Each structure stands twice: as C-alpha cells, then as structure tokens.
Amino acid sequence: MRVLLFILAICVGIIGAGNRAEAQDYPWCAYYNFQQGGATNCGFATFQQCLATVSGIGGSCGANPMYQSSPGPHPHRRGYAY
C-alpha cells in the first residue's frame, strides 16, 4: 500500500512540475468608487469586456498602469519616407 502511494505521489509531482502558475497581466481595469478608496479589477483583455462589467453597477474603465505587453515576435513594419 505504501509503495502504491509513493508511486502516486511521484506521478503527481512529475505532472505538477511541468505546469507553472503565472499571474495574468491584462491591459484594462475597472475602477469602482475609486475616489473613496473603492475596488479595482484589472482582469480585462478588452475595453468592451470592462465596459460590459461596469454597466449597471457603476464604475469606470481605464488602462492598467502596471500592464506590460508580452515580449514576443512582433510583425516587422517597414516605414517608407515620402
């Protein structure tokens, strides 16, 4: 029985080691009653998602001041001088 539990623990450890948990960084925030120390929710990928959340309950949407875009391949843009 102990050997079976040991093997199960090893398998769970191997599976869990491959999946890293990282915080999501989204570009839009919802601000609820911000002037009086209200809440902030910076979990929106689009401005429309944020607006849909605050509609009816109050609040405003704005850019996340802590957002940094992911470093990845960006399409090469060639500018032409006219």
* In the chain, where the domains are located: 23-63
Query: Which helix (H) or strand (E) segment is 63 a member of?
Result: strand 60-63
The larger pLDDT score, comparing residue 1 to residue 21, is at: 1
Whether 12 shows a pLDDT value over 70: the answer reads no
Q: Which two tokens stand for residue 72?
A: 């990845």
Give me the pLDDT at residue 42, please: 93
| 50-76 mean pLDDT | 84
Contact 2, 38 (CB under 8 A): no
